[in-house]
Chains A and B, each alone.
Chain A
């Protein structure tokens, strides 16, 4: 018989996490707890120069004095930072020249995730830097990129091979003392990606990274630093899934982007960390600091599809320092069951004629809470700045919530700010309309959600858009198969 909202809700609740498997790879894991010795040990383990160790220790000192923030519209049991192990690396030799040398079980994991590492990637034009539990295991197509002078490697490698670049820019966009999680990340970051695009170079392929938490009880602290030199262009993709674990896992990443004069960075994320089970047990805590700096005529565009994690706290932001610079933020955030997301962006206009666009789509189902939190700040010097914000919420069922917290601070009279917001509900009427035309309920929901998210999905690179659409369907459709 036909569908009721009750049945729809039930179906959404029974949707299980598809990537909940655990790979048994021997790991080299530090004892739990955090103190100076652990910070030094991480640095040593990674064979870092002294300046790096000092930098980490500074961050640790700052972090110790800081309080975990409470202003976000989320409630959770705060992690016990002394009960977490801060380093875990797959035990096998960490670097390989070819795939044949990679642990077959690890390759199997990738296969389950649908990541193909073979030559097809080259045809698809994707270079992948994969991070499994903190250490980059395989980096491909470095050679092709090298010919253009592009550096794309793990941050650990960059610290060793390109210390002058790392030292110059690390922490300039997100300083150690920026916030609680950024300070923690600065002290203990295990690995991450580094990318440098030289002057005037257009990166010939989409750069992509897959993250994955694998070891139970291991915090994952990624550090990404991306520098686009004058007039260069790069499109960077970041996607992740995590296996199903009972304990809450902490993920506190920091991403710093620098777009110099006339450069353009497109940064796309698909986030699918384990969201916890339908009772709200387990799941990843995702506390991320992402920020980019735009110099003159530069452009940074953040696109994110957030479907996973039990708790998300994430505000990819743009500092529009240079005149005529452009910041964009396109976001789809899906929450189901007991998930909580507090996400949005900050657009800080410092330069003249700076422009920013914010398009945020929140989809809430089950008993979840989905908040948009955004700041648009026009400083006194920022003549003729413009912002357009649009925040749309889609609700499914009667037990979820959608919230919008827009902050607008304008200190220059020439600014033009627009803000639009809508809230709608997938109604039985919409579903019945689709049903009557022969479209079953699951397909109808997918159709409605995709329609709702279209403006953001269109911003994703092709190969990612397909994956993102699939994720939206998995996250909301219910018991397919």
Chain B
């Protein structure tokens, strides 16, 4: 599903990734370990398409498609999900509203209509129940004033809502989550 070929990437002319090769098949869980500053987060950001990293050699292929010319949102539409080590706060935008917008933008990109409100509510309810998330949590502003644990849980909730093909986590995940998602 994911194929990384001889990937070189640099930031401000400093090479950080020096020829990464990796193949991940559907259903597999890969753990990439290494000391601080060895480029784990950079690899994740490059796969997600973060602009500040420049790919100088090699490529990232998702389901046979080279992602080089894809904007981050296009990669998301193709099923790439990256969790943030430090999820960003967006004041005044509720978790629900954010998810609704994200899902409908992905649908729009696929040429589909917005998800009907009823269906959206049901999806939110189901996923929240599965993850034992309090519904009140969903109407709070995105990541604003969230505890570390709440932020992480919110990232998991978003992943569950978006149902990505490829999920990248850049920080160890508590065991109970691995149990559900592995």
Which A residues lie at the B interface, using CB under 8 A?
A: 1-4, 424, 427-430, 432-441, 443, 447-448, 450-455
Q: Provide the residues of chain B in CB contact with A452, threshold 8 Å.
A: 91-92
A424 to B91, CA, bound (A): 10
**Per-position binary interface string of chain B over residues 76-117, scored 1 when its CB falls under 8 Å from any chain A CB and 0 otherwise:** 110001101001101111000110011101100100000000
Identify which of B1-9, B43-51, B120-128 touches chain A. B43-51
Given A1-B69, A447-B98: A438 touches B51 (CB 8 Å cut-off): no
Q: Provide the residues of chain A in CB contact with B50, threshold 8 Å.
A: 2, 432
A427 to B90, CA, bound (A): 11
Q: Provide the residues of chain B in CB contact with A437, threshold 8 Å.
A: 76, 81, 98, 102, 158, 162
Are B71 and A438 touching (Cβ within 8 A)? no
Interchain nearest-CB distance for B11 vs A (Å): 13
Q: 11 A-B contacts, Cβ less than 8 Å apart? A: A2-B51, A429-B88, A434-B73, A436-B48, A436-B72, A436-B82, A436-B84, A438-B109, A448-B90, A450-B92, A452-B91
Which B residues lie at the A interface, using CB under 8 A?
A: 48-51, 69-73, 75-77, 81-82, 84, 87-88, 90-93, 97-98, 101-103, 105-106, 109, 141, 158, 162
Return the contact of A438 from the options B84, B90, B97, B162 (Cβ within 8 A).
Answer: B162
A447 to B93, CA, bound (A): 7
Are B49 and A451 touching (Cβ within 8 A)? no
Q: Provide the residues of chain A in CB contact with B141, threshold 8 Å.
A: 451
Are A430 and B90 touching (Cβ within 8 A)? yes
Given A2-B51, A430-B90, A454-B92: A435 touches B71 (CB 8 Å cut-off): yes
Are A433 and B51 touching (Cβ within 8 A)? no
Q: Provide the residues of chain B in CB contact with A448, threshold 8 Å.
A: 90, 93
- A-B residue pairs, 8 tightest by C-beta: A451-B92, A451-B93, A435-B72, A2-B51, A438-B76, A433-B88, A454-B92, A437-B102
Are A433 and B87 touching (Cβ within 8 A)? yes
Q: Provide the residues of chain B in CB contact with A447, threshold 8 Å.
A: 90, 93, 97-98, 101
Interchain nearest-CB distance for B128 vs A (Å): 17
A291 to B59, CA, bound (A): 63
Q: Provide the residues of chain B in CB contact with A450, threshold 8 Å.
A: 92-93
Q: Provide the residues of chain A in CB contact with B92, threshold 8 Å.
A: 450-455
A438 to B90, CA, bound (A): 16
Are A1 and B71 touching (Cβ within 8 A)? yes
Interface centre among A428, A433, A436, A453 (most CB of B within 10 A): A436
Interchain nearest-CB distance for A431 vs B (Å): 9
A433 to B69, CA, bound (A): 19
Given A2-B72, A450-B93: A430 touches B88 (CB 8 Å cut-off): yes
Are A439 and B51 touching (Cβ within 8 A)? no
Q: Provide the residues of chain B in CB contact with A4, threshold 8 Å.
A: 51
Are A436 and B76 touching (Cβ within 8 A)? yes
Q: Provide the residues of chain B in CB contact with A1, threshold 8 Å.
A: 49, 51, 69-71
Q: Provide the residues of chain B in CB contact with A428, threshold 8 Å.
A: 51
Nearest opposing residue in chain A for B77, CB measure? A438
